[in-house]
């Protein structure tokens, strides 16, 4: 089985970033959607990135930002991944992929027809998250993972992943799991015990 990547998202401070990295995260994510309770100003994210050792990938979460704004923040914060978590269409993703870091498009899944949408996006990865009618993400909701089936792309699985269900998520054979509210003490603040528990629970699957 592919060794799954673990992305810890919604980081707002250096201590959580460092802890996630030391526990084994492959990517950390900053949320640049101003309406998110996990929003971080690009200047602050840059300060955190500059203090971290270089061997971790940095992702930025965007919701319906303009191309220029997305590119500017990606450059300022030295992003390795741009996570498009709003209503960005395939054309927007293609423009961004042309001259930017790696891109992943989030698809919020209601049923299996949403899984098929993955084919229409020319991004480096697809992220499947749970659908909520009133929020773009960070809801802590899961969806029926059994409907994912075979998708010929790198898949990050997100939505309500926590220490208790992380093993089941990894066992699906996805490229990576994306964990946000499931290891938090409160929105934007990680619970280090929960985070450690998650990494302990999946360690045998990443060896
Ligand atoms: O975290 C948010 O507030 C958020 C807002 C808008 C778009 C995405 C957001 N978060 C991302 O959603 C997924 C799933 O989160 P969870 O594990 O269910 O809490 C993850 O990528 C978050 O970073």
Which ligand 1 atom is at minimum distance from the Cα of 161? 17
**Does 55 have pLDDT greater than 90?**
no
Give me 140's structure tokens: 């802590």
Decide whether any atom of ligand 1 lies within 6 Å of the 176 Cβ. no
- Identify the pLDDT of residue 129: 98
Residue 41 half-sphere exposure toward CB, CA atoms < 13 A: 3
**For residue 29, what are the β-bridge partners?**
9, 59
| pTM summary value | 0.96
Q: What phi, psi does 188 have (nearest 5°)?
A: 95, -5
Average pLDDT on 184-199 reads: 98
Interacting residues of 137 by C-beta distance below 8 A, sequence separation 6+: 36, 61, 63, 85, 106, 108, 129, 158, 180
Candidate CATH numbers 3.20.20.70, 3.20.20.80, 3.40.1080.10, 3.40.50.720; the one for domain 5-206: 3.20.20.70
* CB-based contact 148:168 (threshold 8 Å): no
- Could you tell me the CA-to-CA distances from 47 to 15, 42, 50, 81, 87 in Å, in that order? 12, 9, 5, 18, 29
Percentage above 70 pLDDT, the chain: 99
- Identify the pLDDT of residue 64: 98
ipTM reported for the complex surpasses 0.95: yes
Average pLDDT on 35-41 reads: 98
**Does 1 have pLDDT greater than 70?**
no
Q: What is the mean pLDDT of the chain?
A: 95
Decide whether any atom of ligand 1 lies within 6 Å of the 184 Cβ. no
Average pLDDT on 69-83 reads: 96
**Does 77 have pLDDT greater than 80?**
yes
Residue 5 half-sphere exposure toward CB, CA atoms < 13 A: 21
Q: Please give the distance, rounded to the nearest whole angstrom, from the Cα atom of residue 183 to the centre of ligand 1.
A: 12
More confident call, 19 vs 97? 19
Give me 125's structure tokens: 């990865």
Report residue 100's pLDDT band, with 50, 70 and 90 as the boundaries. Answer: confident
User: DSSP letter at 120?
Assistant: G
Q: Please give the distance, rounded to the nearest whole angstrom, from the Cα atom of residue 106 to the centre of ligand 1.
A: 10
pLDDT in tens, 104-162: 999 999 999 999 999 999 999 999 999 999 999 999 999 999 999 888 899 999 999 99
């Amino acid at each position: 089985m592919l060794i799954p990547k673990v992305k810890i998202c919604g980081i707002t401070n250096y201590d959580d970033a460092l802890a996630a990295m030391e526990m084994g995260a492959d990517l950390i994510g900053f949320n640049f959607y101003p309406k998110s309770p996990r929003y971080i100003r690009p200047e602050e994210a840059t300060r955190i990135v500059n203090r971290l050792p270089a061997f971790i990938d940095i992702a930025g979460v965007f919701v319906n930002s303009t191309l220029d704004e997305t590119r500017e923040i990606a450059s300022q914060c030295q992003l390795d991944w741009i996570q498009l978590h709003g209503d960005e269409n395939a054309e927007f993703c293609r423009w961004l992929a042309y001259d930017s870091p790696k891109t992943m498009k989030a698809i919020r899944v209601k049923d299996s027809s949403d899984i098929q949408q993955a084919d229409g996006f020319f991004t480096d990865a697809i992220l499947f998250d749970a659908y909520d009618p009133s929020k773009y993400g960070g809801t802590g909701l899961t969806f029926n993972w059994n409907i994912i089936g075979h998708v010929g792309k790198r898949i990050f699985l997100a939505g309500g992943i926590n220490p208790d269900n992380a093993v089941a998520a990894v066992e699906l054979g996805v490229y990576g799991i994306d964990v946000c509210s499931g290891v938090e003490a409160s929105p934007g603040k990680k619970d280090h015990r929960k985070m450690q528990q998650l990494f302990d629970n999946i360690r045998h699957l990443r060896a």
